[in-house]
Amino acid sequence: MRILTSKKGEGTYVSTVIFVLVAVLFIAFTIRLFSIISAKQQMDACADQMVRQIQLAGEVDDRTDALFASYCGRIAAVHDLQYEIDTVYKTGRKIQLGTPFTVTVTAEAYMGDFGGFGLFPLTLVSQCGGVSEEYWK
C-alpha cells in the first residue's frame, strides 16, 4: 500500500502493468474484429457461389445444401449460419427461366468473444441476387 501512496515516482510498475493489460486487450479486440470481417467476406463468397449454382441448375436442391455446407462450414468466427432463398417457384423448388431470386446468408457473431463470453452480438447478412437460366416445361 505504501508503494501506491508514495510520491517518489517508483509506482511505474503499476502503470506498466495497466498499460500492458490495455495493450493486450486492444490487440485481442483487433484480431477479433478482423476475424469477423474475414467471416463476412467468406459469407459474401458463399452467397455468390450459391447464386451461380442455382442459376445453372434452375432449382434449389440437395446440391445447394451441399454447397452451403461446404462453403459455410469452414467459417469459424460465426454461429447459427442459415440461408434463405426469396423467389417465386414454378413447381416444387424449381425456378423458371428469367425469374429473379435472392440468396440471403445470415449468421451471428460476437464482438469481444473472450473465452465464450460475447459482449456485443452482431448479425451478419450477405445477399446476392441472380436470374434462373433453366427453362422448365
Q: Which domain CATH number covers 71?
A: 3.30.1300
In terms of residue numbers, what domain contains 69?
A: 10-131
- Let me know if residue 71 belongs to a domain: yes
Model confidence band, residue 132 (pLDDT cutoffs 50, 70, 90)? very high
Number of folded domains that form the chain: 1
pTM above 0.85, yes or no: no
Grid coordinates representing 21? 493489460
Model confidence band, residue 114 (pLDDT cutoffs 50, 70, 90)? low
Phi, psi angles (nearest 5°) of residue 104:
-120, 120
- Let me know if residue 65 belongs to a domain: yes
Q: Do residues 113 and 36 touch, judged by C-beta distance below 8 A?
A: no
What contacts 67, CB < 8 A, 6 or more positions away? 49, 50, 53
- Let me know if residue 70 belongs to a domain: yes
Q: Look at strands 79-86 and 120-131 and give their pairing.
A: unpaired
- Let me know if residue 64 belongs to a domain: yes
- Let me know if residue 58 belongs to a domain: yes
User: What was the pLDDT predicted at 73?
Assistant: 84
Over residues 14-30, the mean pLDDT reads 88
- Let me know if residue 22 belongs to a domain: yes
* Cα 110 to Cα 105: distance, rounded to the nearest angstrom: 17
Q: DSSP character for 59?
A: B
- Let me know if residue 4 belongs to a domain: no
- Let me know if residue 93 belongs to a domain: yes
